[in-house]
Chain A
Amino acid sequence: MYRYDQIDRDIVADRCAEFRAQVARRLSGELSEDQFKPLRLMNGLYLQLHAYMLRIAIPYGSLNSAKLHRLAHVARTWDRGYGHFTTRTNLQLHWIRLKDAPDILDSLAEVGLHAIQTSGNTIRNITSDPYAGAVADEVDDPRVWTEALRQWSTVHPEFSYLPRKFKIAVTASARDRTAVRVYDIGLKLRRNRDGALGFGVLVGGGLGRTPILGQTIREHLPAQHLLSYVAAILRVYNRHGRRDNIHKARIKVLVQSLGAEEFGRQVEAEWRAMDHAAVDLPDDELARIRGAFGAPAFEARPARSAAFEAAKAADPAFARFARRNVVAHKQAGYALVNIALKTPGEVPGDCSADQMDAIAELAARFSFDEVRLTYAQNLVLPHVALDDVPAVHARLAEIGLATPNLDLASDIIACPGLDYCALANARAIPIAQQIAARFADPELAEDVGELKIKISGCINACGHHHVGHIGILGVDKRGEEFYQLTLGGEADGDAAGDRSRLGDLLGPALPYARVAEAVEAVVGAYRRARAPGERFVDTYARVGLQPFKEAVYADAHPA
């Protein structure tokens, strides 16, 4: 895991000092709210319905126990004792006072955490594969490149006042766990026929009110030119992206209006004119960063663990957990243990300070001091010996986080919605809770199989509903909460290729009280129509909307 050196620490400390002075200037009235707003946003502070929200960056979703303990401490000391993990591997605290923010940031900085560029029209916290360094199918460690991008993009002088926010994801596996095609820039590490490492460069993906999947502008960018090429993309966007209309300001609109081919041509021209040596990291710095991500000191262990197998045989609940939440590791005798923050009845992505402390202790004891955050608002212990999985499971059960529902119907992505967010039209959290309750029976959930439900409380699509197998979008109809369902979305792929697609609208929006039963009806139609072994999205692709429409609207009467 990358550890900050003195330079990294100084930059975060200086940023904290800068923001403390800016808050003081705001509180004294020297800065207007208009002048202050971009400054607080680029330090992670939003003004929401009830209070300020602080969004803390977890670069490439990687935490150690000291950081997670500190997040717990901050949540306990300055917030209400819990935090909310997001799809973009940030942690949000929703009950912050502005005057406390500088002290919170100082406390975070002590362990190398910060909220730099988690909001505002900046290059945001960069996400990557939560399984990095632990699975066999990656072509290179994506964290090396993500860390290079993190440093390059931090307090970037040219790209701190972009037309709009800018999100980058890096993946190195055919099985994409980052939703790379819905990013402003999606980077897919691959090797070409000669074995040379490079990036497939996608641009212009994004959800929101204009959902679009990213398009490839470069099939194989030599890896060492990553930073200069990204700089060229940013420069073209910074100069030519629209600034007259906030809804048209994302890079996807520029890419759409120029066409991906012309946009790519402009990027190539800009890139060729750049001094690459000034921007790209030299080999020795890349080697320094790579060294920080070396494999942990794994022990030689047999591939099969007698303790693990015995626990499965003895305890059906553990067997189910092992089946659903435990993933094969590249190192024999080890596994990745997913911790779903999706206990039915709880808020998706929420984690209490006590739970954070307990997970931090598990990470320190059983996972080489590492915890990862995932796109699906869950956590992962990436390096657990199979022998230790029963102990980890037992402790997770004690803290209420052993639900064996990874990728199942109750493993729902939901934004904070109208319960917290000033932008929302409708609540997302209680909808998620109602749906999860209907699939709380683990037998039923496992029978239904992989089903990714994603809920957004407004068109900004923080819950990524467009790429949900079942997507749910809250809308406002004459002051009432209604919900549109979309089916068949996906943000994934495997060795057979990219399967990303946007969901299709099922039909008229449904009132709040009918959403959970409609989802149940959709699942019922799937179970009737599916072929053996077929996932929900595969059945949908085969049979289309009609059977689902009939199931949901059959007994509908006009509202």
Chain B
Amino acid sequence: MPTLIRLEGGRAVIAARDPFAEAPLDGPLPDGPAVLMPLARFQQQGPALLDEGLRIGVLLQPEEAVEDLAYDLPRLSMVALNLPKFRDGRAYSTAALLRQRYAFKGEVRAVGEVLREQAHLLARVGVDAFVFADGTTPEQLEAKLSLYRHVYQAASDARPPAWAERRS
């Protein structure tokens, strides 16, 4: 099982277990209280399953538009963003839109080729759960996230940009 690290109250914590069982594009749903499914399956079955009380997370590929989920976001527990290559920056805009435009309060999880050297940027755009591909530990993640003492821009996190710090 890949390790899931969540940001909770400013700390990086390994999740004891991941409640989300991954569902394929079709076929039977896995057992359990929570399911992570591709966007296409969610669009067919998701609303009905939500009505039944199932907790759902949706896995977005980089080319998939978060706008397609907009209506259902308040009922989703989690959105997972796949980074097929660490250099593919589309997930950063998706995360920013989830948090800044849609005020999504659930978990935003980065999966795929997720590496430590990009973690601080992902956290700033709103990712709060990481499945690292390079074995990054919670301690290493915390060190990376605290590396920059200041930031120049507002993002999805609560960090004040430089211009706001200069006022105080």
Chain A residues engaging chain B, CB cutoff 8 angstroms: 5, 7-8, 10-11, 14-15, 17-18, 22, 31, 35, 38-39, 121, 151-152, 154-163, 235, 238-239, 243, 273-275, 278-279, 281-282, 284-285, 288
Contact = CB atoms under 8 A, between A and B. Distances in A.
B167 interface: yes
B101 interface: yes
A304 B100 CA distance: 58
In order of increasing CB-CB distance, the 8 nearest A-B pairs are A161-B89, A157-B124, A285-B163, A157-B121, A278-B154, A151-B152, A158-B92, A7-B150
Given A10-B150, A158-B155, 14 more contacts: A7-B165, A7-B166, A11-B152, A22-B117, A35-B86, A156-B152, A157-B151, A159-B89, A159-B92, A162-B89, A239-B93, A243-B90, A279-B153, A282-B163
**Residue among B101, B117, B125, B153 facing the most chain A CB atoms (10 A cut-off):** B153
A443 to B, nearest CB: 52
Nearest to B92: A158
A154 B88 CA distance: 19
Contact of A281 (B96, B117, B149, B163): B163
Contact of A151 (B101, B117, B154, B162): B162
B127 to A, nearest CB: 10
A279 B154 contact: yes
Interface of B: 86-90, 92-94, 96, 100-101, 115, 117-118, 120-122, 124-125, 134, 147-155, 162-163, 165-167
Given A11-B150, A152-B153, A278-B154, A158 B117 contact: no
A238 B89 contact: yes
B90 A238 contact: yes
Given A7-B162, A11-B152, A278-B154, A160 B117 contact: no
Contacts of B166: 5, 7, 285, 288
A161 B118 contact: yes
B132 to A, nearest CB: 13
Given A7-B166, A151-B162, A285-B166, A160 B89 contact: yes
A157 B93 contact: no
Nearest to B89: A161
A10 B154 contact: no
A239 B115 CA distance: 21
B interface SS class: helix
A16 to B, nearest CB: 11
Contacts of A285: 163, 166-167
Contact of B153 (A10, A156, A235): A156
Nearest to A157: B124
A158 B154 contact: no
Contacts of A278: 100, 154
A216 to B, nearest CB: 25
Contacts of B153: 152, 156-157, 279
Contact of B149 (A14, A121, A154, A273): A14
Contacts of B163: 151, 281-282, 285
Contacts of B87: 38, 121, 161
8 contacts: A5-B166, A8-B162, A11-B162, A14-B149, A157-B151, A159-B92, A161-B121, A238-B92
A157 B125 contact: yes
Given A38-B87, A152-B153, A156-B153, A14 B147 contact: yes
Given A35-B117, A121-B87, A235 B93 contact: yes
Contacts of B115: 35
B17 to A, nearest CB: 29
B76 to A, nearest CB: 20
A275 B148 CA distance: 24
Nearest to B152: A151
A243 B96 CA distance: 20
**Residue among B124, B152, B166 facing the most chain A CB atoms (10 A cut-off):** B152
Nearest to B154: A278
Contacts of A5: 166
A22 B119 CA distance: 13
A278 B151 CA distance: 13
Contacts of A10: 149-150
